[in-house]
Amino acid sequence: MIPSIAAVLFLLGADSFCASAAVRIQLPEVRLKWQLPAAFAVCDGLGSFAGSATQTGWIIDGRIAPAIGAAAVIAAIGLMMMIGRRPSKRYLGWPGRAALLAAIPLLLATDNFLAGQGNSPGVTPAIVAVMAAAASFGMSLVGLAAGEFAGRRLERLGLAGVASAALMFGAWVVS
């Protein structure tokens, strides 16, 4: 049975939820109301379009694709650790943190590229891109809200870092 495109896009957008929640837990003071969801929407939309348009299944061996996706998520986890809650201002002030933060959606768009969902009859790569962008935008908004809600409680318990790592691991699992 072939899963519906909506189900696939939901799963492909789940990493946006996990990463956005992790970012909100790590950076509760930073205003990210629309910037992070927009970055996820653009990156996942472009990744889906490129994957659909190029038919990635013909280009990248299916046995290698999971390793590529895992490497991208591990790199995003590393960036998340570098951003951290209280990095040294001497080494990584806000402009540096912003650049690292912008790289996370780019790395996590790898799964959308590798999925190449444009093979469904009657669905063009542009439609897939718009649907992926909308799903990722919505999932990222919900993730920011969930991270804000949970972050305050986790901070009091001293579990904010553990929770962020678990969420980024969740992004890896759903990718």
Top pLDDT among 67 and 146 is at 146
Q: For residue 2, what are the contacts with CB-CB under 8 A and spacing of at least 6? A: 120
CB 122 within 8 A of CB 57: no
Over residues 12-70, the pLDDT tens digits come to 888 899 888 888 888 877 777 788 899 999 999 988 888 887 766 566 666 777 777 77
Q: Which domain holds residue 90?
A: 5-174
**Cβ neighbours of 52 (radius 10 Å):** 25
pLDDT by residue (tens digit) across 90-128? 445 566 677 788 888 988 888 888 876 545 667 788 888
Buried b / exposed e along 28-41 (16+ C-beta atoms within 10 A): eeeebeeebbbbbb
Tell which wins on pLDDT, 125 or 135: 135
Tally of domains within the chain:
1
